[in-house]
Copies of this chain bind each other. A is one copy, B any other.
C-alpha cells in the first residue's frame, strides 16, 4: 500500500509532475496510508502547492453527486482544462487504492489523459482529514490540474471539514429527499459558496430553490459589504443541463476570491488548520504511552502521588511548545 522502495520519492514526484497517473496514484496512496515518508513528500511538493482551483462538492446521498462530478469533468475538459478528482470518504477504512466504483462511474473519462481520478479513505490517519486531504491535493497540484474537484462521500461534520479544504464549495441539493433544504443540515448550508439544485426537471426543484432563496434573503450574488452571497444554480446533471451555469458560478466566485486578496487569506486560514492538526498529531505521537518513560510518565506519577495536578502538568508541557503571551491572547 505504501511507497515501494524501487522508486525514490523525488523520482515519483517528478513523474507526478509529468502527470503520470500511476505516480499520482502511488503518492496519494502514500498519503492515505500515513506513510512515514510524508514529511519528505510535503517538502518536495512545496513548489507545486496551490496550483489548482479546488472546488469542493458535497451533499446528501441521492442528490446525484457522482453524476454531477462526471458532468463537470466533461464541461471542464471541453474548456481544455486539466481536471483532478479526489473523492474522500471520511468514514471508511483505507480504500487500499481500490477504485472500482470510481472507474465504473467515471469510465467516460478513464482514458482521458487530462483527467486524474483518485479516491481516498482516511479513517484512522494520524492527523486525520485535516492532514491528509491538503497533501493529496498538492499531489494533484504537482500534476498540473487546473481544477481539482474534491468530492466528499457521506455526510456530517467530517464533510464540513473536507469542504474546508476547498477554494469554492458547491452544496448539491435535490427535490424529493426528505424536505429538500432541511435534508442538508448540520453546518452544510453555511459552507456553500454555490448551491446546485440538481434534478431540476423533477417536481419540487423550484420549491427547493425558493426555500433556499428565502433562507438566504437573496438580493444578488454580492452584498454591499463585499462579502460573498451564495449563488443558486439549477441543473440536471443526468441530462447535462445547467452544468455550464455551475462553471460560470465557480468562475464568478473565483473572481471574487481574487479580489482583495481573499483567496490568499482563505488559504492561510486553511494552512493554519492543517498545521494545527499536524502539530497536535505530532505531540500526541511524542507524548506516547507512559510505559516508555519520559516527561509524561513522570508527571502522571506526580499527579497520582498528590505532588501536582493534571492542569499544572499540562501547562508545563504546553508552555514548552508555545510560551504563554506569544499566542493569540497577547
For A42, the chain B residues whose CB sits under 8 A away are 309-312
Instruction: Determine whether the beta carbon of B311 is less than 8 Å from that of A289.
Output: no
For A317, the chain B residues whose CB sits under 8 A away are 275, 279, 321-322
Cα(A131)–Cα(B313), bound, Å? 12
Instruction: Determine whether the beta carbon of B286 is less than 8 Å from that of A327.
Output: yes
Cα(A222)–Cα(B330), bound, Å? 56
Among A43, A134, A303, A326, chain B packs the most CB atoms within 10 A around the CB of A303
| Known contacts A272-B289, A290-B269, A320-B320, A309 near B279 by CB under 8 Å | no
| Known contacts A275-B314, A294-B330, A328-B294, A322 near B283 by CB under 8 Å | yes
Instruction: Determine whether the beta carbon of A313 is less than 8 Å from that of B275.
Output: yes
Instruction: Determine whether the beta carbon of A43 is less than 8 Å from that of B309.
Output: yes
Instruction: Determine whether the beta carbon of A295 is less than 8 Å from that of B268.
Output: no
Nearest-Cβ distance from residue A125 to partner chain B, whole angstroms: 14
A264 within 8 A of B: yes
Identity of the chain B residue whose Cβ is nearest the Cβ of A313 in the assembled complex:
B275
| Known contacts A300-B268, A317-B322, A324-B286, A293 near B330 by CB under 8 Å | yes
| Known contacts A279-B318, A314-B278, A292 near B328 by CB under 8 Å | yes
Identity of the chain B residue whose Cβ is nearest the Cβ of A267 in the assembled complex:
B304
A177 within 8 A of B: no
Instruction: Determine whether the beta carbon of B328 is less than 8 Å from that of A286.
Output: yes
Indicate how many identical chains form the complex: 2
A219 within 8 A of B: no
Nearest-Cβ distance from residue A156 to partner chain B, whole angstroms: 15
- Can you list, as one digit per residue, whether each of A28-56 has a CB less than 8 Å from chain B (1) or not (0)? 00000000001100110111011000000
For A304, the chain B residues whose CB sits under 8 A away are 50, 264, 267-268, 271
For A291, the chain B residues whose CB sits under 8 A away are 328
Instruction: Determine whether the beta carbon of B50 is less than 8 Å from that of A306.
Output: yes
| Known contacts A322-B286, A327-B294, A330-B294, A309 near B45 by CB under 8 Å | yes
Cα(A140)–Cα(B298), bound, Å? 25
Identity of the chain B residue whose Cβ is nearest the Cβ of A288 in the assembled complex:
B328
Cα(A191)–Cα(B45), bound, Å? 44
For A50, the chain B residues whose CB sits under 8 A away are 304, 306
A296 within 8 A of B: yes
A308 within 8 A of B: yes
A282 within 8 A of B: yes
Instruction: Determine whether the beta carbon of B269 is less than 8 Å from that of A310.
Output: no
Identity of the chain B residue whose Cβ is nearest the Cβ of A318 in the assembled complex:
B282
Among A47, A280, A291, A312, chain B packs the most CB atoms within 10 A around the CB of A280
A212 within 8 A of B: no
10 A-B pairs in the complex with CB atoms less than 8 angstroms apart: A43-B311, A46-B307, A50-B306, A276-B296, A278-B314, A286-B329, A291-B328, A292-B330, A317-B321, A321-B321
